[in-house]
Homo-oligomer: A and B are copies of this chain.
Amino acid sequence: MPVRSFMDYCQPRTDLAIEESERLHAQTGREVPGVSVEETSVDDVTITHVHIFSSQGEKAMGKMQGNYITIDAPQLRQRNMDTQAHAAKILAKELEKLMKKSNRRGTVLVAGLGNVEATPDALGPQVVEKILVTRHMTDYLPPQLGRRMHAVSAVAPGVLGNTGIESSDMIRGIVNQIRPELIIIVDALAARNVQRIITSIQLSDTGIHPGSGVGNRREGLNSDTLGVPVIAVGVPTVVGAITIAANAIDLLEERMKGQRESYSLLEELKRSDLNRFIHEVLTPALGRLMVTPKEVDILISNTAGVLAHGLNMALQPDLSPEERHGLLH
Which residues of A are interface residues toward B (Cβ below 8 A)? 79, 81, 107, 117-121, 129, 133-137, 151-156, 158, 160-166, 169-170, 172-178, 194, 238, 241, 244-249, 251-252, 255-256, 259-260, 263, 265, 268-269, 273, 277, 281-282, 285-286, 288-298, 302, 322, 325-326, 329
Each complex incorporates copies of this chain amounting to 4
Least CB distance, A308 to chain B, in whole angstroms? 13
- Quick one: closest B residue to A293, CB to CB? B289
A-B contact pairs, 13 of them (CB 8 A): A81-B326, A118-B294, A118-B296, A135-B164, A241-B291, A244-B244, A245-B248, A247-B286, A248-B249, A260-B268, A265-B265, A289-B291, A289-B294
**Contact call B244/A256, Cβ cutoff below 8 A:** no
B173 touches A160 (CB 8 A): no
Nearest B residue to A195 by beta-carbon distance? Answer: B285
Q: Is the CB of B172 within 8 A of A163?
A: no
In the complex, A293 Cα to B118 Cα: how many Å? Answer: 10
Cα distance A129–B35 in the bound complex, in angstroms: 45
Contact of A163 with B155 at beta-carbon distance under 8 Å, contacts A244-B248, A290-B294 already known = yes
**Assuming A244-B245, A281-B255, A286-B244, is B174 touching A162 (CB within 8 A)?**
no
On chain B, the residues within 8 Å of A249 by CB distance are 248-249, 252
Contact of A133 (CB < 8 Å), options: B162, B166, B245, B286: B162
* Cα A325 to Cα B227 with chains together (Å): 42
Contact between B251 and A294 (Cβ–Cβ < 8 Å)?
Answer: no
Beyond A251-B281, A281-B255, whether A164 also contacts B174 by CB under 8 A is no
- C-alpha spacing A118/B292, complex, angstroms: 12
